[in-house]
Structure 1
Amino acid sequence: MAAEVTIVAPFLVMLLVFVAVVIHRGVDARLRLDDAAHQAARAASIERTAVTAIAAAQSTAASALSSAGVSCVSLTVDTATGGMRPGGTVSVTVSCTVDFGDALILGVPGQKRLSANAVEPIDTWRSVAVNASGGGS
Structure 2
Amino acid sequence: MSWWRDQRGSAAAEVTLWAPVMVMALVFVAVLVHRGVDARLRLNNVAHQAARAASIEHTNARAGAAASAVAIKALVNAEVSCQDMNVEVLGDVRPGTAVTVTVSCTVDLSDAALLGVPARKRLSSTASEVVDAWRSVESGT
TM norm structure 2: 0.87
Structural RMSD (CA) = 1.3
1:40 to 50, 57, 66: 50
Partners of 1:53 and 1:81 within 8 A in 2: no
Report the number of matched residues: 131
2:110 aligned partner: 101
Alignment of 1:111-122 (within 5 A): 111-122=120-131
Q: Hey, which bits of structure 1, 4+ residues long, moved more than 3 A?
A: none
Identity level (%): 60
Map residues 16-95 of structure 1 onto 2, 5 A cutoff: 16-82=26-92, 84-95=93-104
Letter in 2 for 1:99: D
- Once residues 70 and 107 of structure 1 are traced to their aligned partners in structure 2, the CA distance between those partners, rounded to angstroms, is 21
Is the contact between residue 72 and residue 96 of structure 1 (CA under 8 Å) also seen in structure 2?
A: yes
How far apart are the structure 2 equivalents of 1:81 and 1:57? 13
Shift of 1:4: 2.3
Q: Is 1:4 matched with 2:14?
A: yes
Distance, in Å, in 2 between the alignment partners of 1:57 and 1:109 is 29
Instruction: Give a deviation string over 1:11-68, Cα, whole Å, max 9, x none.
Output: 1101100100000000000001000000000011001111111111001111111111
Paired residues of 1:75 and 1:97 also in contact (CA < 8 A): yes
Aligned AA (1:117): T
